[in-house]
Amino acid sequence: MQNDLELLLKLQMIDYDLGELERSKEYLPDMMENLNREMRDVADRLSQVSELLASSRAKQKTLELDIKVKETALTRYQQQMMSIKTNKEYDALVAEIDSIKAAISSHETELLQTIEGIATLEKDQAVYLEKDSQIKENNSHQLSILQEKVDSIGEKVAAKEAIRQQVVGTISRPTLSVYERVRRGKGGQVVVLVRKRACGSCYKSLTQQRIQEIRRGDRIMTCDNCGCMLYWDNAESN
């Protein structure tokens, strides 16, 4: 029976590994999606900043051109002042000159703000370019590793299943039946160590008689409370 316990512990470890492989089928793709999402988010932000920067530079050129056009018109109107003959013409020209000057002043203010905005955007673009490069390098490396793990899951499961069949074939049917029943009902650990004279799973105290029966190891003993299969280890159970 002691041999069966040792085999059950080995089987339990195999089942744990198989469970981890099954869980990895879910969490590995999630990890990969998180890495891809991080790259997309940074790339999107870089694209937004770059588009805004290009738009701001185009606006700068438009404002500078408009200011030049208005300054040319202002010069022309100022020259016309020399040839005005009536007060009416003078008042109309002064009004036009004042309007152009106000427009130039407004455009110059807007141009200054645009240039300041461009300087900020250029800094932001440089930051996101570096961040984009670093994240692509780091995440691509991690994605490659994760993809290899995903691709190898099937082979690892098949190998573990083969080993499991070998171990199962060496365990007595009654013992294996108890193990499989408890595993289906509980999941996780089935064979647990007695710790401080209590079940290592639910921590319910064991009677002295039950402890003696477990220590003899001549038959499989289970916890009356949680159903786990119990075993004794002199080095750890006291």
Other residues' Cβ atoms within 10 Å of the Cβ of residue 212: 11
pLDDT band at 5 (very low <50, low <70, confident <90, very high): confident
Q: How far apart are CA 115 and CA 117, in angstroms?
A: 5
- Check whether 194 has a pLDDT greater than 90: yes
Domain 22-152 fold is Helix Hairpins (1.10.287)
Q: Which of 201, 229, 227 is nearest to 4 (CA)?
A: 229
| Domain ranges, ordered by start, for the chain | 22-152, 173-231
Other residues' Cβ atoms within 10 Å of the Cβ of residue 42: 19
Which tens digit of pLDDT belongs to each residue from 117-142?
A: 999 999 999 999 999 999 999 999 99
Q: Look-up: residue for tokens 């365990």? A: 171
Contact 159, 17 (CB under 8 A): no
- 179, with CB counted inside 10 A (0-12, 13-18, 19+), is buried
Segment 90-99 shows an average pLDDT of: 94
Residue 237 confidence (pLDDT): 56
What is the distance of C-alpha 158 from the center of its chain?
29
| Cα–Cα nearest to 132, from 31, 32, 41 | 41
What is the spatial distance between Cα 225 and Cα 102, in angstroms, rounded to a whole number? 89
Rounded to the nearest 5 degrees, what angle is found at the Cα of 90, between the Cα atoms of 88 and 92? 70
The pLDDT value given to residue 236: 56
Q: pLDDT tens for residues 16-71?
A: 999 999 999 999 999 999 999 999 999 999 999 999 999 999 999 999 999 999 99
Do 67 and 111 form a contact (C-beta atoms < 8 A)?
A: yes
Q: How many CB atoms are closer than 10 A to CB 128?
A: 20
Q: What is the DSSP string of 163-174?
A: HHHHHHTTS-HH
Element (H, E) at 162: helix 87-168
Q: Are the beta carbons of 166 and 158 closer than 8 angstroms?
A: no
